[in-house]
Structure 1
Amino acid sequence: MNTARHHGMDWLRIGAFGLLILYHIGMYFVPWGWHVKIAQPLDWVQLPMLATNGWRLPLLFLVSGYASAALFAKLGGSGAFVRSRSARLLIPLAFGILVVIPPQPWIELVTQHGYAKSLGTFWFGDYFRFGTLDGIVLPTWQHLWFVVYLWVYTMLAAAVLAWVPAATRAKVADGAAQLLGGWRLLALPLLWWLLLLALFPDHEETHALFDDGPSHLHYLMPFFIGWLFRVRPAMFDAVARWWRVALLVSVAAFAVVATILCLWLSGAQPPEWGRAAFDIAHQVQGWTMIVALVGIADRFWNRDHSKRAMLAEAVFPFYIVHQTIIVVVGWYLLRAGVGALPSFLILVAATVTGCWLFYRIGRSIGWLRPLIGLQRK
């Protein structure tokens, strides 16, 4: 393994989390179901949302796999790796469930289910019912499902690394890197996703861990490919040769997705028309865009900057708190009847400001640092 830090992957991780925050702001405007919605959702917002929908979460798992492999190499053993990952993921997860998340289901219940109790009464009463309330499971991890899944995947990786001999692991990594060399890096993972689509055509992600098997099969692949990029950096050679092709294919695939969506929105075709083509193009666009972004990061972003370390540290605290800020501010905007454009600008400004304050205050107080996902000083 090349021990040199790949700054491009750092920037890709920062960008992936930043995009996730912007995507969740968009959820306030799009017609899809969410915790709080603008009074008159905008159909056209589905187009930019779908442009990222197929790859933003798998990309997060890929860069997380890369970072996990780097951490394992730094710590030098499965035991230390398990302790480190558990502390950095489970402590902020518990803090998020107990403190950060509760306003989200309360606002959803108030705006969409006619719930009449105050936030305080809900928080210290109904929230900890360990059951459902109007179909909403309480307590809940909401957007922090990603943290749960990432912890499970890292524990799976640690178990494999602990029980499989080093020589065998090296042979498997060599074989996987060879298998995914050249054009196969584009084709084989995509074929896996298309196979899952054929086997589970009606599966919808639950984010509930135990009943989400097809989603795990979908996300484990980019997680372990990200890990493989770290332990076999020669794979970046294949990306360097093929990322431009991947980008062109991704743009063409999204053109199919956008065309079919526009036909549906215009009523030109019945809802059943084009479903298979839409789903296939969506998967093609997703994986090829990930390869293209890794190639762009490797080619253009593999350089350091004075703000990189700070931004890399800040993205996890930003992730923990961002959705609660969006939902709370969106609720006030809904009650005030604010229009779409000013609502978007206010949400962006409020979310960035709130996330930044959460990070800056939390990092400056020693006992708060582990709660927001930072190491102790």
Structure 2
Amino acid sequence: MSASSLAPSSDRRHDLDWIRVGAFFLLILYHVGMFYVPWDWHVKSSHEVEALEPVMQLTNPWRLTLLFLVSGAATRFLADSPARDGRVGAGRLAGSRTLRLLPPLLFAMFVIVPPQSYYEIVEALGRVAPQADAYHNAFTADFWVRYATASGNWCDADGCLVTPTWNHMWFVAYLLVYSLLLAGLLALSSGRLRALGGLLERGLKGWGLLLWPIVFLAAIRWGLASRFEISHDLVNDWYNHALSFSAFLFGFLTARSETLRAGFIRLRWPALILALAAWAAWAGYAWEYRAEDAMPALALRRLMRVVYAADQWAFIAAILGFGARHLNRGGPVLRYLTVGVFPFYIVHQTVIVVAGHHLAPLRLPLAAEAGLLIGATFAACFLAYEVARRLGWPGLLLGVRPERQAANRPPRAA
């Protein structure tokens, strides 16, 4: 590893910022798709679109892994940012991440997320025995107090709805935990941790950048996925932790590596070809065995774990490569969206659930319903951001940190 290959070239990487923005936008569209695809979700449209499943599979294996990787890279730039006494220390990093992530997490769990649980319960009750809504809205004492105190006893044959819950905000909860773990590792041995970036750089030269991460992802899928189904409950989610924390740590360790950045650019086309082939194989497999009682052969299941891993990493490598090659310019739009996508993420799923629940009884044509749902979701996201950036410190509840210097400048991204 040359001394310059991991040298800090700038305070940010515009390509990673664009990728982060694009990944969050894809996530919003994915959750709109959950309203229509046959898979279980909080609320459902009367239009069930089974053919949407392969499209959903296009991003399903890798979208959140990519977000954890990019978040790790952003944490690296934060850790390397100059402070009055040099680099941001481990304690300051932990404090910054806590201030940035904990207020919106708690606010979301008790204000933003309750309507999701409310309408999930309303629709479940309606499917069992259509009846008038006994709660009237998500914030009446009868519902919200039971939600906040875990006393709802909302159970059916499939289990119980445990509240309070973080639902889609699990990503923020995990990101906070991973950031604090990273700060602890930096406090114990910052030099050794950062030196791992050099080891990764040497080990992932050439085609190894495409091959070895697939081997790792296949190994944890073989060893952990069948034993620890993804639950988002933090405590027993070991496959998800192995996947997500590894991606977060990889992003942190390699964010400044010009060698790996050049490697992603060089391998972007082979990675894209492999990604599309793996997606076609995985989506075809998932489609063929989509019935609840379908049971593929053990050998096939094992093979598809490798295919799934290839799908995950090849798409990520292709996105990082094409992003590094073509998304190197910043500008006001990127500055605006880099901060905005966090409040977008916080509010988007609740908007989809609430708007979807009220649109479904209208029995609109599919195109009209989906168009209104997408439009309402993005309009609410932008509105929430515009409100939050004008609130000062209370804007932290929606993920927007106030600008310290000029009041008329846009908030600074974390």
TM range (shorter): over 0.9
CA pair 165-142 structure 1, distance change in 2 beyond 3 A: closer
Count of aligned residue pairs for this structure pair:
375
Which 5+ residue runs of structure 1 have no aligned equivalent? none
State how far apart, in whole Å, the 2-side matches of 1:232 and 1:265 are.
41
* Equivalences for residues 69-218 of structure 1 within 5 A: 69-74=76-81, 75=83, 76=87, 77-114=89-126, 116-119=134-137, 120-130=140-150, 133-134=154-155, 135-166=160-191, 168-202=192-226, 203-218=228-243
State how far apart, in whole Å, the 2-side matches of 1:372 and 1:266 are.
40
Cα offset for 1:79? 1.4
Question: Does structure 1 retain, via aligned residues, the 8 Å contact 2:69–2:251?
Answer: yes
Q: What is the percentage of aligned positions where both structures have the same residue?
A: 34
Question: Does structure 1 retain, via aligned residues, the 8 Å contact 2:71–2:248?
Answer: yes
Question: Does structure 1 retain, via aligned residues, the 8 Å contact 2:16–2:323?
Answer: yes
CA pair 82-66 structure 1, distance change in 2 beyond 3 A: same
Look up the equivalent residue of 2:80 and give its one-letter code: A
CA pair 312-214 structure 1, distance change in 2 beyond 3 A: same
1:285: which partner in 2? 311
Cα offset for 1:228? 1.9
State how far apart, in whole Å, the 1-side matches of 2:206 and 2:60 are.
26
State how far apart, in whole Å, the 2-side matches of 1:358 and 1:352 are.
10
Secondary structure of the corresponding residue to residue 48 of structure 2 = coil
State how far apart, in whole Å, the 1-side matches of 2:316 and 2:18 are.
14
2:30: which partner in 1? 23
Secondary structure of the corresponding residue to residue 234 of structure 1 = helix
Question: Does structure 1 retain, via aligned residues, the 8 Å contact 2:196–2:253?
Answer: no
Question: Does structure 1 retain, via aligned residues, the 8 Å contact 2:222–2:305?
Answer: no
Q: Work out which of the residue numbers 380, 394, 397 in structure 2 matches 1:354.
A: 380
CA pair 188-359 structure 1, distance change in 2 beyond 3 A: same
Bigger shift: residues 28-37 or 367-376: 367-376
Q: Work out which of the residue numbers 397, 405, 411 in structure 2 matches 1:371.
A: 397
TM-score, normalised by the number of residues in structure 1: 0.94
Cα offset for 1:220? 1.4
Bigger shift: residues 186-195 or 335-344: 335-344
State how far apart, in whole Å, the 1-side matches of 2:368 and 2:394 are.
34
2:244: which partner in 1? 219
2:261: which partner in 1? 236
State how far apart, in whole Å, the 2-side matches of 1:95 and 1:300 are.
37
State how far apart, in whole Å, the 1-side matches of 2:143 and 2:380 are.
21
Bigger shift: residues 21-30 or 272-281: 272-281
* Equivalences for residues 330-349 of structure 1 within 5 A: 330-349=356-375
Q: Work out which of the residue numbers 5, 8, 18 in structure 2 matches 1:2.
A: 8
Cα offset for 1:366? 1.6
Look up the equivalent residue of 2:358 and give its one-letter code: Y
1:315 aligns with 2:333: no
Question: Does structure 2 retain, via aligned residues, the 8 Å contact 1:61–1:219?
Answer: yes
Which 5+ residue runs of structure 2 have no aligned equivalent? 1-6, 127-132, 404-414
Structure with the higher fraction of residues in helix conformation = 1
CA pair 24-122 structure 1, distance change in 2 beyond 3 A: farther
Bigger shift: residues 275-284 or 7-16: 275-284
* 1:279-298 CA distance string (max 9 Å, x none): 43222111110000000110
* 1:82-108 CA distance string (max 9 Å, x none): 111000000111111111111000000
Cα offset for 1:111? 0.1
Look up the equivalent residue of 2:113 and give its one-letter code: I
1:48 aligns with 2:73: no
Greater relative contact order (Cα 8 A, min sep 6): structure 1 or 2?
1
* 1:148-187 CA distance string (max 9 Å, x none): 0001111111111111152x33433211221122221212
TM-score, normalised by the number of residues in structure 2: 0.86
1:252 aligns with 2:264: no
Look up the equivalent residue of 2:119 and give its one-letter code: I
2:407: which partner in 1? none
CA pair 197-170 structure 1, distance change in 2 beyond 3 A: closer
